[in-house]
Amino acid sequence: MSEQVYEAIARSSSGFVESPAGCGKTEAIVRTVGTYCSDPQLILTHTHAGVDALRQRFRKYQVPTSRYHVDTIAGWAWSWVRKYPFNAGYDGPGDVPGWNDVYDSMSALLERDFVKQGILNSYAGVIVDEYQDCTVPMHKLMVQLKCLLPCRVLGDDLQGIFGFRDDPLISWTDMRGAFGNDLGTLETPHRWINAGNESLGRWLLRERTAFRQSREPDYGSATVHRARVQYGNLGAELLRLTEEKEGRICIIGPKARRLNSAVETVLVKRAYRILEPNDLTVLRDLIVVLVDGTDAEKADAAIKFFFDSHGGLSPDTNAFISNILKGEGSRPRLVDRRALFDAHRQGATPILLAELLDYVASRTAVSCKLTESVSALKCILEEHIGSGANLKTLYAEEIAKRKYRTRSSVFRCVGSTLLVKGLEFDHAVILRDPNWQQSWGNYRDLYVALSRGAKSATLIDLAA
Amino acid sequence: MRIRHIEIRNFRGIKSLSWRVKGDFCCVIGPGDTCKTTILTALDYALSPRTSLSFEDSDFFNQDVRQDIVIQVTLTDWDETQLDIRKFFQESKFAQYKCGLDATGPLAEPQEGGTVAVSVSLRVDGSLEPKWFVVKGRDEGEVTERKPLYATDRNALGLSRLDTYSDYHFTWGRNTILTRLSADNEGNLGAVLSGLAREMRQGDISGHESITECQGVADTVKQESSDAGVKLTALSPKIDIQRQSMTAGALSLHEDNVPMRNKGSGTKKLVAAAMQMKLHGGKNISLIDEIEVGLEPHRIRGLIVRLRNTGQQIFTTTHSPVVIRELDVVKDELYVCRRDAAGIVSLDSLAVVPNIQGPVRNNAEAFLGSKIIACEGPTEIGCLRAYDRYRFEGGSIPVWSLATSYFNADSGGQIKVVCPKLHALGYRTAAFCDNDAQDQISDAEVARLRAAAIHVCQWEAGNSTEGQLFHDLPWTHIPDLLAIIADNHRTLDHATIIDCVIKEPRVITQNLGTDPTAWPESPLLRGVLGELAHKRSWIKSIGYAATVFYFALPLIPDTSAIKSRLGLLWDWVQHE
């Protein structure tokens, strides 16, 4: 059955494959290219994690690199737009691109013969992964690319989730309209079969209609564990629930905000990593103010960064950090604080931030919650102090450097559906509160969350 | 591909050069030491797929290694259906490095509706290490978007040099034309040859599969050469036992048992050109320094016609009027190269001057120097040749060593038209004309030429060249002059000359008699002689005039118009 789908993808000049979670989408792409396509294919996806997963699978099957090029839609479009901003009509920034402009600009570039020719020279076809994550400008770009090359897309409307501030995604009806041919559906739940929990996989496939119609699925026959937990007990309960479980665990919390700080601190101390979005939003907010803000704004932003990124700060430490960043307060008694105080009376300077990071790291009671942002900030400050380079530029370079550091190896983590989608775990623990549809997500998010754990899925409903 | 712009900085004698190339057959002419060959070498270095290139301090302009050598060549018009071009312009290679081109040179991006180009830059800094890049826009160093370009990639550009270095192309060596034609063979030849090296005998190698393929190529070359007018008996790849190393270069093209490299230089050039025409379906670029070397005029013509018809772009230099006559100036086939004292080199298509084709065909030699003396006709040219010889014998430097050529304008009326054109092409120009026809060239027109920095040598009012000669020569030598005229002239005899003088209506009453030594001197008779000589074409050929003036010049007084005015012209030739 699957082989027929692979062959259909290879042969078709346009079409889509319905690919529910865990049913072998990556496999389908790699096998199609490796077995049924003789000429090079452009494989586009959305996240660097996705790129990484595809590349690893291609390597595993020893498909010659001349036969495929894997990139994110954003990365591929930007590679052209940054080379031809004038032809693309792109007047956004050259270092940190405005992505929607980039897709529109790439659409403009596809009108140019020399660009078309370059793409035709390079590829015989395009395969787009995770099509449900396409925004309207991305979809427009892909439809245009379809005029140039055979364009086949794989995706799952149920995994089409987006953040509260994000652009709306393409509707599945529009996708079907644009790509016409239904090339088949992938419907073997490999992920759960391989983990010895086929029943969960089958249940997820069976209940897709319920998720799609935004109603609570029938947990009757499910192997989903359910629990009700009081907010106050959450930290302790989570530890208890996950203590017994072996393997990789993700705890999926709300999208709109982070978990309660105390709960995060408890988890971080148990070696959980708090996932951050690719642009390290917390760090970005700090950098922007450090470059453009007033002294007072800089101090406030730095204080906020320290409180967001570190858990277990004592009130005393909090006060010291606030004071020294604002350039206020009296000379501290403790020797190490006094040294910092004596050396730094100009408020939130880069040198002070760097030294404060070291100071905070030296406090054993303090745990670092946002390890990515903190390590990136250290690198940026070090480079800035050494070379005097612009902080925003260094930030952009640092983000670019990190983009291929995959999260797929993360062992225990906490994040929202947006941050864990595309990742696979042994156990998924989902936290939702009574108002979950306002703060947490919708039934598609629930489907994504429940399909993250191959061995088990635990749904915790929180009560006040 | 087609080269459409060349910029060279700090390379050998060239401080800077920016050349917007228009034609597909580009022949560069110009005086010696204007860096014509350096331009071809620069193109060869920048575009050919050679892997090793060693630079020395002396390759830098003024040996100043602080200023990078930059050779940037911008190309257009590739055939994107060709496989190697498609590979060259893949995303993983240079698809995102196509650039634009306008009259000023390469641009970072193509303009809407404008030319799409690709620009290759060879850069050498004080480390003497050459680096090739594809660059977007003028190569300003690190700030210009660039991507390294390796020798194998440069293969796709399709440039070969077919002159002094063409021996190598008769081998299946690295990146030679034969190797490129045998592209399917890649990798096999080396192994076959190292095996053969052990046997090292002239055994029968024709059975090897790779060699069979080389034979196929050799057959094609034979056919192409035959079309080019070179008849060869049988071409085959054979082990070249004189070569030391047994790399692929040891396999070379032989005619019977004679290696092609031992053939005459003209034949080698024609065969190499024939091979190059097969590469990339002919859509490629050839460099030929001194295209005429080793070729008879008919072979030159044949080669030029064939090169033009194959669709390749040619860059060549020449010192041969035969080549110049074959070229279509209007199609930008002829460029004049100039180099100023600061090393700024410029190239101008002769097409910038309207209606220059005729003068170029008729006076091809004139364009090979740096100074041109435009003469009214063959008599004047003959006069100058004689004067040159006369001065040379008196110890002066001859004009030919001063890169001065004569240009036959064919009439006084043409002189005033042609001289400004030659001047516009950068030639230092002088006009040499008689002074007997105001309707042909008036005093006002002469003044205009002089105002335009053109030196004008003109006889005294009313005098043709013959008139001035009979005016200035001491009377006692006139009979000898008439005898010499008659001796040299093919159709005119002495009696006819005498007869037409004594019967001339203005002097008939003088009953001059047939012995010119007895003729009495008079301005009238001098005038009549001059006029007859002019009207009856007594010395109207370069040869007649040269002989006559060579006889007369030592006898003419230094204060005469002929000698003083020619003297001024010579000052211009020698000193300006």
If pLDDT is split at 50, 70 and 90, which confidence band does B164 have?
A: low
By Cβ distance, the residue of A85, A87, A122 closest to B95 is A122
pLDDT of the residue at B280: 67
| Residue B90 forms contact with A (CB below 8 Å) | yes
Decide if pLDDT at B248 tops 60. no
User: Do residues B93 and B87 lie in contact, with contact meaning Cβ atoms separated by under 8 Å?
Assistant: yes
CATH superfamily of A1-188: P-loop containing nucleotide triphosphate hydrolases (3.40.50.300)
Decide if pLDDT at B382 tops 90. yes
* Ranges A434-443, B60-69, B125-134: which has the least confidence: A434-443
Mean pLDDT of all residues in B189-205: 60
Bridge partner list, B457: B432
Provide the mean pLDDT of chain A: 89
Interchain contact, A86 vs B89, CB within 8 Å: no
Closest by CA to B20, choosing from B137, B106, B131, B97, is B106
pLDDT of the residue at B247: 55
Residues B158 and B162: their CA atoms lie apart, in Å, by 12
Residue among B78, B109, B147 with most chain A CBs within 10 A, to mutate:
B109
More confident residue, A365 or B138: B138
Decide if pLDDT at A421 tops 60. yes
If pLDDT is split at 50, 70 and 90, which confidence band does B563 have?
A: very high
| Residue A245 forms contact with B (CB below 8 Å) | no
If pLDDT is split at 50, 70 and 90, which confidence band does B258 have?
A: confident
Decide if pLDDT at B245 tops 60. no
pLDDT of the residue at B401: 73
If pLDDT is split at 50, 70 and 90, which confidence band does A1 have?
A: low
Residue among B83, B91, B135 with most chain A CBs within 10 A, to mutate:
B91
Q: What is the pLDDT of residues B392-445, one digit of tens each?
A: 998 888 877 777 888 888 888 889 988 998 888 888 999 999 898 888 899 999
For residue A68, what is the nearest residue in chain B, using CA coordinates? B92
Decide if pLDDT at A433 tops 90. no
SS3 annotation, B370-411: CEEEEECCHHHHHHHHHHHHHHHHCCCCCHHHHCEEEEECCC
Which 110-129 residues of chain B touch chain A by CB within 8 A? Answer: 110, 112, 116
pLDDT of the residue at B196: 60
Residues A258 and A264: their CA atoms lie apart, in Å, by 8
Q: What is the pLDDT of residues B23-61, one digit of tens each?
A: 899 999 988 788 999 999 999 999 988 877 889 999 999
Question: Are A1-188 and A193-275+409-462 in the same CATH fold?
Answer: yes
Q: Nearest CA of chain A to the CA of B315: how many Å?
A: 27
| Residue B79 forms contact with A (CB below 8 Å) | no
Using a pLDDT cut of 70, give the percent of chain A over it: 97
By Cβ distance, the residue of A85, A114, A123 closest to B98 is A114
Q: What is the pLDDT of residues A305-316, one digit of tens each?
A: 999 899 888 888
| Residue B245 forms contact with A (CB below 8 Å) | no
Provide the mean pLDDT of chain B: 87
Joined together, the tokens standing for residue A102 give 């980039």
Residues B143 and B121: their CA atoms lie apart, in Å, by 14
Decide if pLDDT at B192 tops 70. no
Residue A144 Cα distances to A167, A206, B531, angstroms: 20, 35, 85
Joined together, the tokens standing for residue B506 give 């203005």
Residues A320 and A341: their CA atoms lie apart, in Å, by 9
Residues A330 and A243: their CA atoms lie apart, in Å, by 46
Q: Nearest CA of chain B to the CA of A243: how many Å?
A: 49
Q: Nearest CA of chain B to the CA of A118: how many Å?
A: 5
Measured in whole angstroms, how far is the alpha carbon of residue B543 from the centre of its chain?
27
Compute the count of residue pairs across chains A and B with CB atoms less than 8 Å apart: 46
pLDDT of the residue at A450: 94
Interchain contact, B116 vs A122, CB within 8 Å: no
Interchain contact, A114 vs B136, CB within 8 Å: no
Measured in whole angstroms, how far is the alpha carbon of residue A287 from the centre of its chain?
20
3-state DSSP call for residue B106? strand
Sign of the torsion formed by the C-alpha atoms of B368, B374, B378 and B380: negative
Which 101-160 residues of chain A touch chain B by CB within 8 A? Answer: 112-115, 117-119, 121-123
Task: Give chain B positions within 8 Å (CB) of A123.
Answer: 91
If pLDDT is split at 50, 70 and 90, which confidence band does A32 have?
A: very high
Bridge partner list, B375: B408, B432
For residue A88, what is the nearest residue in chain B, using CA coordinates? B109
pLDDT of the residue at B191: 63
Decide if pLDDT at A23 tops 70. yes
Q: CB under 8 Å to A309, separation ≥6 — which residues?
A: A282, A368, A369, A370, A373, A374
Closest by CA to B134, choosing from B195, B205, B48, B73, is B73
**From the CB of residue B555, how many other CB atoms can be counted at a distance below 10 Å?**
13
pLDDT of the residue at B30: 87
Q: Nearest CA of chain B to the CA of A351: how many Å?
A: 31
More confident residue, A202 or B243: A202
Decide if pLDDT at B165 tops 70. no
For residue B85, what is the nearest residue in chain A, using CA coordinates? A121
Residues B372 and B429: their CA atoms lie apart, in Å, by 5
For residue B93, what is the nearest residue in chain A, using CA coordinates? A122
Q: Nearest CA of chain A to the CA of B100: how many Å?
A: 11
Q: Enumerate the domain spans of chain A.
A: 1-188, 193-275+409-462, 281-403
Decide if pLDDT at B292 tops 70. yes
**From the CB of residue B111, how many other CB atoms can be counted at a distance below 10 Å?**
13
* Ranges A142-156, A227-241, B349-363, B386-400: which has the least confidence: B349-363
| Residue A89 forms contact with B (CB below 8 Å) | no
User: Do residues B59 and B124 lie in contact, with contact meaning Cβ atoms separated by under 8 Å?
Assistant: yes
Interchain contact, A114 vs B110, CB within 8 Å: yes
Decide if pLDDT at B549 tops 90. yes
| Helix B561-575 / helix B378-393 crossing angle, nearest 10 deg | 80
* Ranges A86-90, A312-316, B263-267, B374-378: which has the least confidence: B263-267
For residue A112, what is the nearest residue in chain B, using CA coordinates? B112
Closest by CA to B177, choosing from B311, B275, B314, is B275
Using a pLDDT cut of 90, give the percent of chain B over it: 53
Task: Give chain A positions within 8 Å (CB) of B98.
Answer: 114, 118
pLDDT of the residue at B267: 76
Interchain contact, A86 vs B108, CB within 8 Å: yes
Q: Which amino acid belongs to residue B338?
A: R
Task: Give chain A positions within 8 Å (CB) of B97.
Answer: 83
Residues A298 and A302: their CA atoms lie apart, in Å, by 6
Q: Nearest CA of chain B to the CA of A112: how many Å?
A: 9
* Ranges A290-294, A425-429, B136-140, B275-279: which has the least confidence: B275-279
Structural domains of chain B, with CATH: 1-158+284-353 (3.40.50.300), 164-281 (no CATH), 369-574 (no CATH)
Bridge partner list, B405: B372
Task: Give chain A positions within 8 Å (CB) of B112.
Answer: 87
Burial of B454 from C-beta contacts in 10 A (0-12 / 13-18 / 19+): buried
Task: Give chain B positions within 8 Å (CB) of A75.
Answer: none
pLDDT of the residue at B17: 96
* Ranges A8-17, B160-169, B229-238, B547-556: which has the least confidence: B160-169
Class of domain A193-275+409-462: alpha beta
By Cβ distance, the residue of B89, B112, B136 closest to A117 is B89
Cα dihedral A134/A138/A143/A145 (nearest 10): -120
Q: What is the pLDDT of residues A390-414, one digit of tens each?
A: 999 999 888 888 876 666 678 899 9
| Residue A84 forms contact with B (CB below 8 Å) | yes
By Cβ distance, the residue of B96, B108, B112 closest to A118 is B96
pLDDT of the residue at A164: 62
Q: Which amino acid belongs to residue A36?
A: Y
Which ipTM did the prediction report? 0.80
Residue among A121, A122, A149 with most chain B CBs within 10 A, to mutate:
A121
Task: List, in sequence order, every beta strand (DSSP E) within B215-260.
Answer: 235-239, 251-255, 258-259
| Residue B233 forms contact with A (CB below 8 Å) | no
pLDDT of the residue at B201: 45
The highest-confidence range among A247-261, A401-415, B479-493, by mean pLDDT, is B479-493
Mean pLDDT of all residues in B191-197: 62
pLDDT of the residue at B430: 94
